[in-house]
Chain A
Amino acid sequence: MQRLARWSVGVAGLLALTLTAACGGSDTGQAVDANELTVQTNWTSGGQESVPLKAALEAFTAETGIKVKLLESGDDLNQVYETALLAKKEADVLLVGLLEKQLDWVKNGAVVPVEQYVDQWGLTIPATALADWKDADGHLRAFPYAGFTWPWWYNKALFDKHGVPLPQTVDELIAAVQKLSAKGVGGVAIGGNDWSGQKIFLQILESYLTPDAAKEIFAKGGLCANPQAMKGVDLFVKLRDAGVFVKGAEGLTADQATALYMSGKAAIAPIGSWSYPTADQAVVGTTTLGGFPVPDGGTYAKPTAYTGSTSAGWWVSPNGQQKLSSVEKLIKFMYRTDVLNSMLKGGVVPAAMDGVDSSAVTVPLLKQSVDALPKAVDFTVMPDLYVPADVGNPMYRATSIAYTAGNDAQKICTTIDAVYQAAK
């Protein structure tokens, strides 16, 4: 009977503990306490950007006395935030990029528009970045904070070893890759099976389009009916059939393609600035950042690369609006020159490169990107701001067929146009 009593007491104790704890709950960003802010971000501890971010937030707390609770979310930040919003327990401020669902957050009331605060709080943000973050109604979705560059990486040591000059034109690129391939070195490593392959396909597609025409094509499709766009598709097919992309590119992911470049098995790879801080030391010193070489008769005079200001911005939630004075202090702090420099030093690419002081930069590839890249390339239109949210993912699959041998320009354009048609 004693054992039975102990068992009963144990179960009762557990239930009591459960209910007590349940009644206490765990508060996440719900209380209107101006002395505490909850920041949700996808700059997780797994990435390099979180180091300067955490240091800056600690300094902010030390200076203002306002505590900051940092919530890290992964690629599913959207769902986590929107569910918390339903419970009115969303974070006060978010630091996250502008893509997919976030494009409609202001329209859906998930965050508050912030255009009025730019001048009110005396924030100095370049007009180009502000334009990127505005929606169709002219509302500023968030304060632009971090950007990116997406150059083509050339392993100069490999080129030198085999006596091949770095290509400036498409014809030189084809010749260079054929020479390197003959020596057993792969050409352009690209993840033809995912988002990275889609971006590079669209970059090549832009070769004969003006920026406005490119925006129109990205927003509405219609490749097959646009002769200039078709010239870009033809160019892509010509490069693919000439063996410019590494073997099996159509089945590679961005990670696998990056690994091919980092291990020296491929001499060229388009890789974004998010890889600057984590690039293998073996290739950091031998990499020259450039762009996609110039095609004959193309729109751009220099090789092309992507840049953008949409990697991360500071969003204000409805909960954040309840404690606006604290949010104002945080945003002003994060835009202070010394804080921006500390972010730059930690490998964060600023939202706009205008007037960036590269003397603070210690990451070698970021320094090259800030100092030399803008002179070496023309920046093309980044598709993400124009490709509709419901077209993005299906288009990854459609563009992957472009990397598969045997598919001609007509089949490629038809497949991509079909994605736009299906989304209408």
Chain B
Amino acid sequence: MSRAMRGAGPLRLVAHLGVWVYVLLLLVPLYYLAISSVKSNTAILDSPFNPFRGLQFDNFARAWEGGSLGRGLINQAYITVAANILTLALAVPAAFALARTRGRVGRIIERIFALGFLVPGFAALVPTVLLAIRLDLFHTREFLILLLPASALPLSVVLLTQAMRTVPAELEESAIIDGAGPLRVLVSVYAPLTLPTLTVVLILNFLSFWNEYFFALVIAGPDPAVRTAQVALPLLSMANAAQYGVLAAGIVITLVPVYLVYVLFADKMEGAVFSGALKG
């Protein structure tokens, strides 16, 4: 520990307090969600933070059954996983090509990808719906699988391109001398060295796709055969028949896969963040 840090006792205490307050602020909504999922409506509204009032443990069963969440989660997982794979399948080669390109055309294409950030999702709603109808893919999950990567590609390509630019040119040259083609260079040299960034992109896209609501509602529609769990959740609590406990239970159920994915990939994601920080 440096002398400067040892000398900053009171400041350190304040910093620690600040961190703990921040942690508590993050935990409060989670606590509220967790206890609401096992409480009655009246108790949620009347004593929101009291964990012992109006306990109602059948909320989870009612949410599962009422929202057909089992099927909804399968649909949601299908869309999320397929769209994520498709995004990576498109973004990785694109980033690989852009990272290796030194010319003007490459820079222009990279900027065109970055321009994708400027297109708001809602602005694309009407043409997207018309496209789905024209392709006869309206009320299908598959259209979402094709659509979602379009919204995720700009960030994915920009992040991956920057990561791939850090790969030393000597490694690529050695591989080429050993007879590797471009695909082999990508798979054996670039992909392993940019794995942390790939993981970040995968997790960010997973969260974005998993939580997608509006396009899933309008395009996939209300049929339980294709409906995602996110679309089913609001059905658990209506404007004049609010069932906040059941809704909270449903939300908890849909959060479980997100938590599992984070636990699976947390090390790699943190590794990517820290390696970026150290390089900085």
Contacts and interface: CB of A to CB of B under 8 A. Distances in A.
A44 B86 contact: no
A64 to B, nearest CB: 22
A89 interface: yes
A42 B238 contact: yes
B139 A265 contact: no
B258 interface: no
B42 A265 contact: no
B234 A75 contact: yes
B211 interface: no
> What's the interface size class on B, roughly?
35 or more
Contact of B222 (A14, A80, A262, A272): A80
Interface string B120-154: 00000000010011011111111101100000000
Contact of A46 (B82, B143, B187, B237): B237
A240 B144 CA distance: 52
Contacts of A1: 184
B84 to A, nearest CB: 10
Contacts, number: 140
Nearest to B225: A26
Interface string B217-255: 110011111100000001111111111101100000000
B145 A18 contact: yes
A26 to B, nearest CB: 5
A86 B134 CA distance: 11
B45 A28 contact: no
A280 B42 contact: yes
A14 B86 contact: yes
B183 interface: yes
Interface residues of A, number: 52
A147 B118 CA distance: 47
Contacts of A254: 240
B222 A40 contact: yes
B138 A18 contact: no
Nearest to A194: B239
Contacts of A86: 129, 133
A11 B89 contact: yes
A45 interface: yes
Contacts of A22: 135, 137, 140, 142-143, 146
A260 interface: yes
B28 interface: no
Contact of A25 (B45, B140, B217): B140
Contact of A265 (B46, B184, B187): B46
A393 B72 CA distance: 32
29 contacts: A4-B187, A11-B89, A14-B82, A15-B89, A17-B82, A18-B86, A22-B135, A22-B143, A25-B137, A40-B222, A45-B66, A46-B246, A69-B223, A71-B222, A72-B224, A74-B238, A80-B222, A84-B139, A87-B133, A87-B139, A254-B240, A255-B41, A255-B45, A255-B242, A256-B45, A260-B46, A274-B241, A278-B241, A278-B243
Sorted from nearest, which 10 A-B pairs have the closest CB atoms?
A259-B45, A45-B66, A22-B142, A44-B235, A74-B234, A46-B236, A71-B222, A87-B138, A87-B133, A28-B139
Interface of B: 40-42, 44-46, 65-68, 82, 85-86, 89, 129, 132-133, 135-143, 145-146, 183-184, 187, 217-218, 221-226, 234-244, 246-247
Interface of A: 1, 3-4, 7, 11, 14-15, 17-19, 21-22, 25-28, 40, 42, 44-48, 69, 71-76, 79-80, 83-84, 86-87, 89, 195, 254-256, 258-260, 262-263, 265, 272, 274-275, 278, 280
Given A86-B129, A262-B46, 13 more contacts: A3-B187, A4-B184, A7-B187, A11-B85, A18-B145, A25-B142, A42-B238, A44-B238, A45-B66, A48-B241, A71-B222, A71-B224, A80-B217
